[in-house]
Amino acid sequence: MPETLADPTVYCIETNQRIYYGRIIFQDDVQLKLQTEDNKPVKILKGNIKRVQVMRTITEKETQSKWKQH
């Protein structure tokens, strides 16, 4: 059974068909599985990926919440 990744980073993954936002929960040499922001798992073939961007890391999220408290 493949291991689930615990990376909290939110990515923007662009394919020819659409743009996905979410966390990568699994990947191998051929595909990755993304947990979208509405909690739906999406399989994306790596050959179809045009661009990947880091949107938010856990550190940035913590920093934003600290700023809101002040």
Say how far apart CA 62 and CA 65 lie, in whole Å. 5
pLDDT for position 8: 82
Looking at residue 10, its amino acid is V
For 10-66, how does the pLDDT look when each residue is reduced to its tens digit (9 = 90+)?
A: 999 999 999 999 999 999 999 999 999 889 999 999 999 999 999 887 655 554 555
Boundaries of domain holding 62: 10-69
pLDDT for position 57: 74
Q: What is the number of other CB atoms lying within 10 angstroms of the CB of residue 49?
A: 15
Alpha helices in the chain (DSSP H): 58-69
pLDDT for position 53: 95
CATH of residue 56's domain is 2.30.30
E-state strands within 28-69 = 31-36, 41-45, 49-56
3: in domain = no
Look at residue 58 and give its three-state secondary structure: helix
pLDDT for position 56: 80
* Total domains in the fold of the chain: 1
61: in domain = yes
